[in-house]
């Protein structure tokens, strides 16, 4: 009678330890390095940690910045030992703060910007509470913000790779035991001082500097970048590789797509919001396509309901409904 062998074991039993080690690792109680604030993102980014980079790519106005600010808010709310360094190079800090306050209060950004004209006490209370929450982030050193458009010292270029490296190292030294997340919006706006018009050469220089930085400071990089024009189709990894060197070294590459932003009333992927008069209006679904992942086996898409005027995203409870719409539209 022929002896049946386990695929992990040869005749000498030399591979038994491979299986035993695998089983022991699987049975260990694992904790998230970071709680990303939503079930699906936690599933997809469970293994993302210091020294790694998560790249958010997409066409202009498809939701990259809102994805970043929503994620930053979730990270601060759901992790006690996290510090976020927000380099907002695409927008000034004032606009970024408006986005944070609007998302936290669930008020339109226009309402937030002109709050002095508001008389509705409910809205005013929500605004005040959101301001208190944001102020606590700053006062408790949970959030540091830097922009490219202004500086206390006019000789300092806050969009330069040199400044980003300097500030990250300073903040790491100030918080030696915290989990540091370096958020950059966007990588395309970083200045490296290279006299070369080739964007690939520039992105290669940025990528190498940032990879050295996050390794040295044990920080996680969360950054946005522009995709090259793709003719309106959903993003692929090739779109990113053709535009940014960091795609080769990033542990996670996410492609953002917004059907309503691209196709307006002809969009096939959206969610319906109810208006006060009982009618409905189509709101965007922001699709997060995981184009590459070295931190988990997740290689699908996560849908997010978007409130564009409130600068916020929310992961719906019924992912299947929107995933079916997405794959039906592909």
Identify the weakest region by mean pLDDT among 72-86, 147-161, 231-245, 307-321.
147-161
The tokens of 227 are what? 């995709």
Whether residue 2 is predicted with pLDDT greater than 80 in this model: the reply is no
Q: Is there a domain that residue 126 lies in?
A: yes
CATH code (residue 82): 3.40.50.300
Q: Is there a domain that residue 41 lies in?
A: no
The tokens of 150 are what? 């202004």
Bridge partners (DSSP) of residue 181 are: 84, 220
- Distance, in Å, from the CA atom of 327 to the CA atom of 41, rounded to the nearest integer, reads 19
Q: Based on the structure, what is the number of domains in the chain?
A: 1
Share of the chain above pLDDT 70, in %: 88
Residue with tokens 């996290």: 82
Q: Is there a domain that residue 282 lies in?
A: no
Residue 96 near residue 122, CB atoms below 8 Å: no
- Distance, in Å, from the CA atom of 126 to the CA atom of 298, rounded to the nearest integer, reads 37
Q: Measuring CA to CA, which residue among 209, 160, 210, 189 is closest to residue 89?
A: 189
Q: What is the three-class DSSP state of 293?
A: strand
Task: Please return the burial class of 64, using the count of CB atoms within 10 Å of its CB with bins 0-12, 13-18 and 19+.
Answer: buried
Question: Over the stretch 288-303, which tens digit does the pLDDT of each residue have?
Answer: 999 999 999 999 999 9
Residue 65 near residue 224, CB atoms below 8 Å: yes
Q: What is the overall mean pLDDT for the chain?
A: 88
The tokens of 80 are what? 């006690």
Q: Is there a domain that residue 273 lies in?
A: no
Top pLDDT among 243 and 158 is at 158
Exposure class string for 120-142: b at 16+ Cβ within 10 A, else e: eeebeebbeebbebbeebeeeeb
User: Residue 193 has what pLDDT?
Assistant: 74
Q: Measuring CA to CA, which residue among 126, 130, 28, 45 is closest to residue 79?
A: 45
Q: Is there a domain that residue 154 lies in?
A: yes
Q: What is the three-class DSSP state of 239?
A: helix
Backbone dihedral angles phi then psi of residue 2, each to the nearest 5 degrees? -75, 135
Average pLDDT over residues 188-217: 83
275-284 long-range contacts (CB < 8 A, ≥24 apart) are: 283/307, 283/308, 284/63, 284/258, 284/259, 284/260, 284/308
What sign does the CA torsion over 95, 100, 102, 103 have? positive
Q: How far is CA 269 from CA 25, 83, 250, 279, 286, in A?
A: 40, 35, 28, 19, 9
Question: Over the stretch 223-272, which tens digit does the pLDDT of each residue have?
Answer: 998 876 666 789 888 877 655 667 778 999 999 999 999 999 899 999 99
Q: Is there a domain that residue 97 lies in?
A: yes
Tell me which residue range forms the domain holding 231: 48-256+291-296
Q: Is there a domain that residue 12 lies in?
A: no
User: Residue 322 has what pLDDT?
Assistant: 93
Average pLDDT over residues 200-221: 90
CA atoms within 13 A on the CB side of 116: 1
Q: Is there a domain that residue 82 lies in?
A: yes
Residue with tokens 């260990």: 28
Q: How confident is the model at residue 196 (pLDDT cuts 50, 70, 90)?
A: low
Compute how many other C-beta atoms are within 10 angstroms of the C-beta atom of residue 50: 16
- Distance, in Å, from the CA atom of 234 to the CA atom of 300, rounded to the nearest integer, reads 13
Task: Please return the burial class of 192, using the count of CB atoms within 10 Å of its CB with bins 0-12, 13-18 and 19+.
Answer: middle
């Amino acid at each position: 009678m022929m002896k049946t062998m386990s695929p992990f074991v040869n005749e000498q039993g030399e591979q038994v330890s491979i299986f035993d080690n695998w089983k022991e690792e699987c049975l260990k109680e694992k904790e998230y390095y970071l709680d990303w604030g939503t079930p699906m993102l936690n599933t997809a980014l469970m293994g993302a940690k210091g020294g790694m980079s998560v790249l958010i790519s997409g066409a202009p106005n498809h939701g990259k910045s809102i994805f970043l600010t929503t994620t930053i808010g979730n990270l601060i709310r759901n992790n006690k030992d996290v510090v976020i360094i927000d380099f907002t190079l695409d927008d000034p800090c004032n606009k970024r703060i408006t986005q944070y306050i609007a998302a936290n209060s669930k008020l339109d950004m226009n309402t937030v910007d002109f709050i002095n004209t508001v008389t509705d006490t409910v809205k005013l209370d929500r605004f005040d509470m959101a301001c208190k929450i944001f102020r606590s982030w700053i006062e408790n050193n949970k959030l540091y913000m830097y922009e490219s458009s202004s500086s206390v010292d006019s000789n300092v270029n806050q969009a330069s790779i040199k400044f980003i490296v300097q500030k990250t190292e300073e903040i790491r030294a100030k918080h030696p035991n915290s989990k540091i997340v370096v958020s950059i919006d966007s990588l395309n706006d970083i200045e490296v001082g290279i006299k070369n018009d080739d964007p690939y050469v520039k992105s290669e220089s940025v990528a190498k500097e940032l990879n050295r930085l996050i390794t040295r400071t044990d920080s996680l990089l969360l950054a946005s970048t522009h995709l090259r024009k793709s003719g309106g189709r959903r993003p692929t990894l090739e779109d990113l590789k053709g535009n940014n060197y960091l795609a080769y070294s990033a542990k996670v590459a996410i492609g953002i797509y917004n059907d309503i932003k691209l196709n307006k009333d002809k969009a096939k992927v959206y969610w319906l919001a109810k208006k006060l008069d009982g009618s409905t209006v189509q709101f965007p679904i922001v699709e997060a396509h995981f184009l590459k992942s070295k931190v988990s086996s997740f290689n699908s898409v996560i849908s997010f309901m978007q409130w564009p005027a409130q600068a916020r995203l929310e992961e719906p409870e019924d992912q299947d409904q929107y995933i079916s719409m997405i794959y039906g539209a592909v």
